[in-house]
Amino acid sequence: MIRKAVPEDVYIVYQLISELEECEFPESEFRQIFDEILNSSHHCIFLYENNSEIMGLLHLRLENQLHHCGKTAEIMELIIKNGYRSEGIGGSLFNAAFEYAVKQNCVIFEVTSNRKRADAHRFYQKNGMEHSHYKFTWNINKGSILLE
């Protein structure tokens, strides 16, 4: 079953996001951000649950963007718990998020995925997404960017 996250899901969401990012975040800051997301009409966290066990999540952000002249739905995080991958759970979450985006009158459905996640890239392409962009980032903790 796919359902939307509720405040009581914070711990399992924390575990899944930590697995995705291969690190642990400060729990109090994570909880605050999780609460903000749950209370925002611009975000939705879908959970895949079976027999009271959460096996995966998909976090979707909705926002109007000038360069699309409409609302965009962007997958922010998609993670399936180890041991449950390649069982169709990711596809179920992906389809639920896509249907939600359509119902919200989004004009674009997109995702950014780290280069190291080759399996994820194959998953997105298998599900009809086109590899059309590059993303550039700067970790602000590393210091300032010198603008020329």
CATH number at residue 71: 3.40.630.30
For residue 47 the two structure tokens come to 């959970």
H/E stretch holding 27:
helix 27-38
pLDDT digits (tens, 9 = 90+) for 31-50: 999 999 999 999 999 999 99
Residue 20 has pLDDT above 80, yes or no: yes
pLDDT exceeding 70 applies to what percent of the chain?
96
**pTM for this predicted structure:** 0.87
Residues 108-147 as b or e (16 or more Cβ within 10 Å = b) = ebbbebeeeeeebbebbeeeebeeeeeeeeeeeeeeeeee
pLDDT for position 134: 78
Residue 71 has pLDDT above 80, yes or no: yes
pLDDT for position 120: 74
The answer as to whether 148 is a domain residue is: no
The answer as to whether 7 is a domain residue is: yes
Its domain, for residue 126, covers: 2-142
Residue 116: band (very low, low, confident or very high) from pLDDT cuts 50, 70, 90: confident
Say how many domains are in the chain. 1
Mean pLDDT (the chain, rounded): 90
Residue 129 has pLDDT above 90, yes or no: no
Residue 145: band (very low, low, confident or very high) from pLDDT cuts 50, 70, 90: low
The answer as to whether 147 is a domain residue is: no
